[in-house]
Amino acid sequence: MRPLDTFARQRTMTSELLATLDEDCLAFTPGPGMGPMWQQFRHLGRIEDNYAAAIATGRIEFGPPRQFSDGTTATALEEYLRDVDADLREAVASAGPGTTIGWGGRSIDLAEHVSRLVTHEVLHQGELVVYIRLLGRPFPRSWRIWGL
């Protein structure tokens, strides 16, 4: 399976979870020093935007995204994730053969770059499990892959 397909599958799971959450759930925080759940979803979009930009520039830079979600509702966050997903698909489709991305002092190929984005998504899915468990909420059917 290609890394972009794997990413799309993981993002679908994230989006299915987001669709089950109301404003109270999204405002929930597990404790001091941990942001509200809506920030998890916004962060996923911000980092994905950095990954898409890196394909065009040839190097990863984690910083302010080119676009930003100013909404904290499930609808606003889902729209934001759809937009950055489209940007990523476009960036991958327009990348030439042999595209590499600089990561610090090392260059990686496009497949490895997108694979690292998949890993980031899965990391945050793990964090979202904590939020959802503390809220006592059910998981979407797709999350059974994680034994939930």
* CATH superfamily name and code, 3-146: dinb family like domain (1.20.120.450)
pLDDT in the model for residue 66: 80
- Please say whether the beta carbons of 54 and 61 come within 8 A: yes
Cα separation values, 115 from 1, 17, 44, Å: 11, 22, 14
Task: Tell me the mean pLDDT per 10 residues along the chain, length 148.
Answer: 87 98 97 94 96 96 81 95 96 92 95 96 97 97 94
* Confidence (pLDDT) at 123: 97
In sequence order, which residues have a C-beta less than 8 Å from that of residue 71 and are 6 or more positions away?
A: 77, 79, 80
pLDDT recorded at residue 70: 78
* Sign of the CA dihedral running 6, 62, 39, 124: positive
Q: 0.75 exceeded by the pTM?
A: yes
| pLDDT value of residue 88 | 96
Tell me the C-alpha distance between 32 and 80, whole Å: 27
- The residue ranges of every structural domain in the chain are 3-146
Please give the pLDDT value at position 92: 96
* pLDDT for position 63: 86
